[in-house]
Structure 1
Amino acid sequence: MALKKLGHSVLQVAPIGLGTMSLKGGATKQNTEVLRRAVELGVNYFDTADLYERGMNEDMIGQVLAPIRDKVVLATKVGNQWRSDGSAWDWKASKAYILKAVDASLARLNTDYIDLYQLHGGTIEDPIDEIIEAFEQLVEEGKIRYYGLSSIRPNVIRAYAEKSNIVSVMMQYNLLDRRPEVIFPLLREKNISVISRGALTQGLLIDKPVKDYLQLTSGEVGHAQRNVEKLANSLGISKTHLLLAYVLSHPVVEVAAVGVRTSAQLNDLKDVIDRPVVLSENDRVELERGIRRLVYKEHV
């Protein structure tokens, strides 16, 4: 895979990344095999969060990838704190919390630095200037190389894009959910990359039974499924390949973070990795034909 620069950073990332939330249960044999196989295939971006399994996911990443730390880009997230009884978590948007939480993530990840530290959510009511100060301090201290945002709220994304040095925004973006395109022009202007999650639409456009999705009816999803099948057959690629090519064909999207649980699922991505497909504008038009464009109704 040809590497791509993430925003205005110097981080070089493969366009297919691994979202590790679905790798549950710690450093099991299966999880270890998935992570090592991903590296063999050319994946170098690994995305986790301190929230996942109360830190166990970070710990697993740290154990397995420590021997090749200098060959991978580690991304994690901060901002949510589990309650002591484990029943739920609370939003902790403060400078003090971020400066404290990073040390725990560094220890679990078995590393001296985090390549990309992302705010895991956020609201426009947060003390945004204070939060930015925390991330900038961590950059100065060498604990993180860059910071970004994980959010689908345009008003929050806009605030950080205008006021901070974020290099990326992780958000759901796929053929059925094109709502983020409202903020894409600003991100492109600021040289901030998008990390797409949910590109495979929960399997609805691949092999899962059709059902409602967000504001779209099952009938509309079925129409989109037919679009995907028709173009995939025309191009001679799988539906998975097409859906990933779709999100990556947008100039502002640099990485599609995909969640897998098994090496077999990862092997299904091998063709995507080995044979990248660049969709033409006509291909995108054909895929989108007849699919209602959704809009954000809140946090605009």
Structure 2
Amino acid sequence: MILTLTLNPSLDRTIEVGSLTRGAVIRAGAAHLDPGGKGVNVSRALLANQVRSCAVIPYGGDEGRRLIGLLSAAGLDMITVPVAGSTRSNISLTESDGTVTKINEPGTALSPSELDTIADAVLGAAHSADWVVASGSLPPEVPADVYARLCRRFADAGINVAIDTSRPALLAALAAGPALVKPNREELAEATGIPIATLGDAIGAARKLCAMGARAVLASLGRDGAVLVEGGAEEQVWFGESFVAEPRSTVGAGDAMLAGFLAAGARGEEALAEALAWATAAVALPGSRMPHPRDINRDLVRLSPPDPNLPLRPGADSGASPI
């Protein structure tokens, strides 16, 4: 079972437009409202593919109740924790070429007692979990080491922890020795101070994260695919890419990638290929929809020996085809 924690969930509204022009009146082609938050998306992707998961979700206000209602209607197994503040709403504007402009609210602050209640909920359910996924941004006023503290407690209990976050929260979590971290290209550069212009740069930065405490790094490179570095005495490095003929939205694609990786055993090239297949399927879907088995085409994935000289395209995290 895979347990996910989302401290800053959201309602995600995605609006599809032909092109985005500042100051203009633009007619939307379509609009979608989906539950959001990185851990929520991981659980949704696992649910869509019949992999057992449970999501721990703090919620508050009308938006929070609507979020929980949508997830309940979808049949998601979850542990809900009511909080005093209101759940945030996010807006994504998706253009026809796959470019996504996101407007994310900061979320609501969580009090120390609310954090304790959430932590107790996670720890109470973690005994039956193979993995705990702690992911997403932190709400205002939440300490940057919150994921690190949880990671140490899970690791002491022999539970694998995957971290998908950024900035100080990622750096703090690395010191706690997570089994896996999943940065994107921008987060990889930010955490290591290494500009990512080539595949070799990405591999070098991933190796640095392993040296900082992660046992493995799954780095998504947007249009240029993904790289997996498993650290330790017998280091392994794999690279893969895929192609999306008609990209619709990159919102949640990284979460689908992490879900596919964990569902496939979270090790080696087979897990990397599955991660890319799930992410590719997500990019071809509207809004933050998570792929079902019928959406996933593994034939689109290509694994190859990593060429450190391979240039990565500018703006590869924008999510245009291929991923």
> Normalised by the size of structure 1, how large is the TM-score?
0.42
> Normalised by the size of structure 2, how large is the TM-score?
0.40
Greater fraction of residues in strand: 2
Greater fraction of residues in helix: 1
